[in-house]
């Protein structure tokens, strides 16, 4: 096949893919086109065609490696496990800081209630101290707003990972098959840090569990 023929064949394939899938073409389709072009390049070939052949081969290899690397990242795990967990953890932080801030405010208001019963100097000292605590409690609002920004960023990442998962479903399944039966790090899997309040066991539940285990 001459260079002109190869370019015509390549253009024809690309036009067909664009017509079928628009401009968002999965790497798998590009790889298929490269393979098809390589298959047609038989018989005597010129030095120029040989160079094109080499470049196409290199391109096919880059695509194969990229697909494998993306599959190894396990975008399915990121989408189904890591991102939702991260969002839940951040929500729990907001809840914890709000609870803590309100507990602090309860205590400060209790202190303020006794200020009229102490002498003037002590009252002023307590009043100044409680004002500084109120000022310090600003943190809850600010951490909440910053965490909301991070959660929004996570949502954007999730959308992009969804696109990756859709494009690499087959490769990801292959990686999963390869990992079946692979040894897991048992202790590492147990270390999850503080649990989300909805899922956490209470001390009473843990005591009951321990008692049931004898």
Q: Which of 5, 7, 109, 205 binds another protein (CB under 8 A)?
A: 109
Which residue number, 84 or 134, has a Cβ lying nearer to another protein?
A: 134
Separation in Å, CA 182 to CA 115, 129, 194: 65, 58, 27
Radius of gyration of the chain (CA): 31
Binding segment toward another protein, per CB under 8 A, in 75-83, 105-113, 151-159, 184-192: 105-113
44 near another protein, judged by CB under 8 A: no
Q: How many residues bind another protein (CB under 8 A)?
A: 20
Burial class (CB in 10 A: 0-12, 13-18, 19+), 67: buried
Which residue number, 139 or 197, has a Cβ lying nearer to another protein?
A: 139
Give the start-end residues of each E strand in 43-102.
Answer: none
3 state SS of 43: coil
What size, in residues, is the chain?
214
State how far the Cα of 112 lies from the Cα of 104, in Å rounded to an integer: 12
Binding segment toward another protein, per CB under 8 A, in 14-22, 63-71, 134-142, 155-163: 134-142
User: Are the beta carbons of 9 and 1 closer than 8 angstroms?
Assistant: yes
Q: Which of 4, 119, 135, 204 binds another protein (CB under 8 A)?
A: 135
Q: Which of 141, 170, 179, 205 binds another protein (CB under 8 A)?
A: 141
State how far the Cα of 146 lies from the Cα of 63, in Å rounded to an integer: 38
Interface with another protein in residues 178-197 (CB under 8 A): none
Nearest distance, CB of residue 93 and another protein, angstroms: 14
Q: Where do contacts with another protein occur on this chain (CB under 8 A)?
A: 98, 101-102, 105, 108-109, 112, 127, 130-131, 134-135, 137-142, 144-145
């Amino acid at each position: 096949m001459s260079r002109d023929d190869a370019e015509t064949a390549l253009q024809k394939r690309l036009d067909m893919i664009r017509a079928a899938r628009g401009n968002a073409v999965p790497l798998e389709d590009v790889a298929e086109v490269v393979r098809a072009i390589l298959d047609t390049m038989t018989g005597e070939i010129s030095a120029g065609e040989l160079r094109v052949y080499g470049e196409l081969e290199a391109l096919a290899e880059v695509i194969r490696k990229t697909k494998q690397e993306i599959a190894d990242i396990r975008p399915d795990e990121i989408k189904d496990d890591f991102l939702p967990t991260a969002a839940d953890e951040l929500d729990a932080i907001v809840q914890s800081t709000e609870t803590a801030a309100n507990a602090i405010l309860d205590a400060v208001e209790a202190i303020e209630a006794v200020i009229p019963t102490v002498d003037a100097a002590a009252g002023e000292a307590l009043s100044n101290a409680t004002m500084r605590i109120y000022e310090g409690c600003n943190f809850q609002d600010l951490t909440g707003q910053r965490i909301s920004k991070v959660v929004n960023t996570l949502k954007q990442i999730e959308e992009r990972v969804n696109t990756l998962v859709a494009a690499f479903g087959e490769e990801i399944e292959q990686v999963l098959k390869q990992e079946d039966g692979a040894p897991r790090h048992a202790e590492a899997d147990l270390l999850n840090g503080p649990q989300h309040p909805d899922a956490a066991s209470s001390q009473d539940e843990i005591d009951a569990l321990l008692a049931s285990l004898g």
